[in-house]
Amino acid sequence: MAVTPPESRVWWKEPVAKIELTWVIIAFLWGLVMFFMMIYWHVVGEQNISNEAYRIDAETFTKKTQAMVDQHTVGQRKARNSDREVPVVAPPPGSDVYLIGRLWEWWPILQLQKGKSYRLHVASVDWQHGLSLQPVNINLQVHPGYEMVTTITPRDKGEFTVVCNEYCGIGHHLMLGKILVVD
């Protein structure tokens, strides 16, 4: 009975029921399968983008982004839930593109060409943010004081939403940005 203590305190010397031993073996083997699948999927699955991180201060990153905006702006779009205009920037393929995360926006709107590669530089100038590109499964942690750099090649034409997936304050639910992919 479970109410009374066991007669023998040496539990590892007790016989194990066959059904219990079967389930322990199945669980162990399944754990091994899942462990090796993680390694396999990391190599073959193409869902883990490689990135680089560099220390940078907010002022320097903002200047780099502003220089890109000044040089490659092709239009303006109204910001979501605001009357403010946000620049639409179309840098040439193969170039460095910059995206700032700040309370509560991703700035500027990037216009990229389908099938062309870009080096995307992302940094936060205030709090920790998380960049999640929807519906593509790209997720990056964006920490203040660090510039995250990754190479992206848009495969599909369309309008993609950049979402902050790290709670960053009262306006977190409004922190959306856009990446436009054109032919």
Q: What is the CATH number of the domain that holds 153?
A: 2.60.40.420
Residue with tokens 């620049």: 87
**62 and 136: one domain?**
yes
Residue 121 belongs to some domain of the structure: yes
Lowest mean pLDDT among 79-88, 107-116, 124-133, 152-161: 79-88
Residue 134 belongs to some domain of the structure: yes
More confident residue, 118 or 84: 118
Average pLDDT, the chain: 90
Provide the 10 A C-beta neighbour count for residue 17: 8
**62 and 38: one domain?**
no
Q: List, for residues 121-177, the tens digit of each pLDDT value.
A: 999 999 999 999 877 778 889 999 999 999 999 999 999 999 999 999 998 998 999
Return d(Cα 161, Cα 133) in angstroms, integer: 6
Count of domains in the chain?
2
Q: In percent, how much of the chain has pLDDT > 90?
A: 65
**92 and 113: one domain?**
yes
Its domain, for residue 85, covers 51-182
In the predicted model, is pLDDT for residue 87 greater than 80? Answer: yes
**40 and 55: one domain?**
no
Q: What is the pLDDT of residue 48?
A: 57
Return d(Cα 168, Cα 174) in angstroms, integer: 10
- Give the pTM: 0.74
